[in-house]
Chain A
Amino acid sequence: QKEVEQDPGPLSVPEGAIVSLNCTYSNSAFQYFMWYRQYSRKGPELLMYTYSSGNKEDGRFTAQVDKSSKYISLFIRDSQPSDSATYLCAMSADSGGGADGLTFGKGTHLIIQP
C-alpha cells in the first residue's frame, strides 16, 4: 500500500462546475498538508498549506483535512479552463518536510471544458 493514494484521472468537468480532488494516506504522523498545481513543463506551484484537521479557504479554493479518516480534499469553485492542470497533494510530519521530505500523491489530471 502506497503512503499516499490519489486518483490519476483524467477528471473532466464543464467550466463553472465545482471540482473535488482527494487524497488518502496511511501515515498517521502526517500533520502538514499541501496542494500543488502543476502545468505542463513547469514545476509544482503551492496552492494551499494547512496544518492538522479543518478547513482553509483561499479565493475559489478550499482545502479540507480529516485526520481521523486520513483523507484530504481540495475544492475548486467556479472552475475555469485555466485551472486545467495536474493537482498534487503532499504531506509531511514536520513543517519543514522532515527526514523524509514531502510525500506526494501521483497527481490528478484535471481538464476544464470551455
Chain B
Amino acid sequence: KAGVTQTPRYLIKTRGQQVTLSCSPISGHRSVSWYQQTPGQGLQFLFEYFSETQRNKGNFPGRFSGRQFSNSRSEMNVSTLELGDSALYLCASSTGQGYTFGSGTRLTVV
C-alpha cells in the first residue's frame, strides 16, 4: 500500500513569490491535513480537508490556503512568501486513528 506522497521534495523561492505544494494521501483516506514544521515552533497545524471541504483551520494568515480534489489529492498554496515561511511542510492522511505523514516538502525562501 503506497504511503502519503508529497511533491516536490525541495523548493527554493524568492520573497514575494507564491508556491503550490501537492499531496496524495493513502488510497481510501479522505482526510488530509497539512502541518508546518520549523525548529523554533515545531509542528503546527495548518488546515484539514475532508471530502473536498476545509473542515478545520489553524492559526495561520490568509496567505496560506489549500484545497482538496475529488480524488482526495490536496494542494496547499502560500502567496507573497516571507522569509519566515521557510519550513518543512508535511501532509498527513488519516482514517481517524492517528495520522500517516508524508516525507514533506522543504521550502526555502530567499
Interface residues of A (CB under 8 A from B): 34, 36, 41-46, 49, 88, 90, 95-107
Contact = CB atoms under 8 A, between A and B. Distances in A.
A100 B58 contact: yes
Given A43-B104, A101-B58, 13 more contacts: A42-B104, A43-B4, A43-B92, A43-B101, A43-B103, A46-B99, A49-B97, A95-B97, A97-B33, A99-B56, A101-B48, A102-B33, A102-B99
Contacts of B86: none
Interface of B: 4, 31, 33, 35, 42-46, 48, 56, 58, 90, 92, 94, 96-104
A89 to B, nearest CB: 11
Contacts, number: 62
B42 A101 contact: no
The A contact surface, by secondary structure, is loop
